[in-house]
Amino acid sequence: MKVKIIITICASLVVLVLGIALGSVNIPPGEIFAIIRYRLTGTEFTETVNNSTAIVWNLRLPRALLAFIAGGALSVSGAVMQSVLRNPLASSFTLGVSSGASLGAGIVILLGITIPVAAMFTLPVLGFAFGIGTIFLVIGFASKVDSQMDNNTIILTGMVFSLFVNAITTLMSALARQNLQQLILWQMGSFSMRGWEAIYILAPAVVAGVIFITHFNRELDIMTFGEEQAKTMGVNLKRVKWTLLILSAALTGGAIAFVGVIGFVDLVAPHIVRRIFGSSHRYVIPLSALFGGAFMVICDLVARTIIAPRDLPVGAVTAFLGTPFFAYIYFSKRAKKAQVR
């Protein structure tokens, strides 16, 4: 297990460096490290390196880091939702976070609303607020109609609210068409030109969220066996469930508020991690963050280089790359098991 973890950490770092190094101009890793050292410590470097500083520091490093952080946040959120709701297909998207965030983005983009104090962060702030607001409504409603907060009630309520909120966004889009293209582009997801500000806000929040969720690893393990079992083993189910659902929605809401709606990684990354490292959440949570982050950096690299200088929507690339990879990991292991039997 230790070897696997070390390989994953090293591979994630290599992917991150590749995400910065490759592009219209390829930059050697040595130069990247020199630029980072210079920006952090002021160490001098050669003229050739100086030419790449703006590309690395202003464009590629923040972009790759943002992709890594967002991918990690979405994957951890997916892992939590799947275990808490005991449903391998569950995600924050099932509970309406992306629909809520889209509505928030729609209000900002289509109606041109700006929050005076938040200014350039109006879209992320409203996207996050609407995403989290939707999940509060879903869980609040579910706990009202079913005091035991059964998983099926939560999922069904989430889907109903999600469809309802989507309908509002669609209606708004139909009535205010002037910025519709901008909304559609936001919904496709992108890491382009988000700058360091997004990272300053998102990185500490995501790191804290992942650590806090890892703290609940035993509860998550127990909850995968069902709510009854969890209660009889002493888990304070209602409190733990509320906390984890809100935390996981906050991770998704925070990520998509900055980068737009990017699906698939939250569904697939945790399953691949479970296949490789087993189901214990002590490993699944931090490794989903690493794996999802690295996967997102690769997807973004493909999205920005494959038909450069144009960017492809990252959300589409995650599905294009993820599906065959997921099928390979999932079914090759099954085939091996079948052979053993």
Would you tell me which residues interact with other proteins (CB under 8 A)? 83, 86-88, 214-215, 217-218, 221-222, 224-226, 228-229, 231-237, 274, 278-280, 282
Least Cβ distance, residue 252 to other proteins (angstroms): 21
Taking the least distance from each CB to other proteins, the nearer of 236 and 323 is: 236
Least Cβ distance, residue 208 to other proteins (angstroms): 14
98 in Cβ contact with 261 (< 8 Å): yes
Amino acid at 319: A
Least Cβ distance, residue 330 to other proteins (angstroms): 13
Residue 78: both structure tokens together: 């997916």
Taking the least distance from each CB to other proteins, the nearer of 22 and 156 is: 156
CA terminus-to-terminus distance, the chain: 24
**Phi/psi zone of residue 261: left (φ > 0), alpha (ψ -120 to 50 degrees), beta?**
beta
Residue-wise burial string across 275-314, b where 16 or more C-beta atoms lie within 10 A, e elsewhere: eebeeebebbbbbbbbbbbbbbbbbbbbbbeeeeeebbbb
What are the residues whose beta carbons fall under 8 Å from the beta carbon of 271, sequence distance 6 or more? 82, 88, 326, 330
Taking the least distance from each CB to other proteins, the nearer of 44 and 228 is: 228
94 in Cβ contact with 155 (< 8 Å): yes
Taking the least distance from each CB to other proteins, the nearer of 48 and 229 is: 229
Taking the least distance from each CB to other proteins, the nearer of 264 and 283 is: 283
Least Cβ distance, residue 278 to other proteins (angstroms): 7
How far apart are alpha carbons 156 and 100 in whole angstroms? Answer: 16
Least Cβ distance, residue 321 to other proteins (angstroms): 25
Taking the least distance from each CB to other proteins, the nearer of 200 and 212 is: 212
141 in Cβ contact with 73 (< 8 Å): no
Least Cβ distance, residue 229 to other proteins (angstroms): 7
